[in-house]
Amino acid sequence: MSIVEVTKPVLMRVTEVAKYLGISRTALYQWIEEGLIPRPMRVRKVLYWQRHKIQDWLDAGMPPCEEK
């Protein structure tokens, strides 16, 4: 019998990131607009974040990501 390691997806969508951060999707979109969170990548019309970038941002104390 072999053990299969279940890994978390590398890319996270809006709903997943909002849930991970404990905020609403509306708040997440506001954070994007204000440059408070790392910018997502867009594939067609869908926004994605790399899981490690969100975790690195959290580990750094959630610093602002962009100047407005």
Task: Please indicate whether residue 63 or residue 68 has the higher confidence score (pLDDT).
Answer: 63
Q: How do the domains of the chain map onto residue ranges?
A: 11-59
Integer Cα distance of 9 and 33 in angstroms: 25
Q: What is the pTM of this model?
A: 0.82
In percent, how much of the chain has pLDDT > 90? Answer: 81
Q: What 3 state SS string does 3-62 have?
A: CCCCCCCCEEEHHHHHHHHCCCHHHHHHHHHHCCCCCCEEECCEEEEEHHHHHHHHHCCC
Q: 2-11 pLDDT, tens per residue?
A: 565 557 779 9
Rounded to a whole number of angstroms, the CA Rg of the chain reads 14
Q: Are 67 and 36 in contact (CB under 8 A)?
A: no
